[in-house]
Amino acid sequence: MARHFLIAATVVLLSRISTVDAQAAWAVTSWGDAHATFYGGTDATGTMGGACGYGNLYTVGYGVQTAALSNALFNNGLSCGACFMIVCKTDESQYCYPGKSITVTATNACPPNSEGGWCDPPKLHFDLAFPVFQELAQPVGGVIPVQYKRVSCVKTGGIRFTMHGNPYFNYVLVTNVGGGGDVSALALKGTNSDWYSMTQNWGQFWSASGNVVNMALSFKATLGNGQSMEFDDVAPNDWQFGQTFEADTNFS
* Inside any domain, residue 252: no
Residues 137, 167: one domain?
no
Residues 44, 147: one domain?
yes
State how far the Cα of 122 lies from the Cα of 106, in Å rounded to an integer.
18
Per-residue pLDDT tens digits for 1-56: 333 333 222 222 223 333 344 446 878 888 999 999 999 999 899 999 999 999 99
pLDDT confidence of residue 224 = 94
Q: Which domain holds residue 176?
A: 160-246
Distances (CA, A) of 181 to 77, 152, 193: 12, 7, 28
What domain count does the chain have?
2
Contact, 81 vs 159, CB < 8 A? no
pTM strictly above 0.85: yes
Using alpha carbons, select from 34, 58, 33 the residue that is nearest to residue 45: 58
Question: DSSP letters of 118-149?
Answer: TTSTT--EEEEEHHHHHHHB-GGG-SEEEEEE
Phi-psi region of 82 (alpha: psi -120 to 50; beta: other; left: phi over 0): beta
Per-residue pLDDT tens digits for 163-216: 999 999 999 999 999 999 999 999 999 999 999 999 999 999 999 999 999 999
Per-residue pLDDT tens digits for 103-150: 999 999 999 988 888 999 999 999 999 999 999 999 986 899 999 999
Residue 32 belongs to domain with CATH number: 2.40.40.10
Residues 147, 180: one domain?
no
State how far the Cα of 225 lies from the Cα of 83, in Å rounded to an integer.
13
DSSP-based helix, strand, coil % in the chain, nearest 5: 15, 40, 45
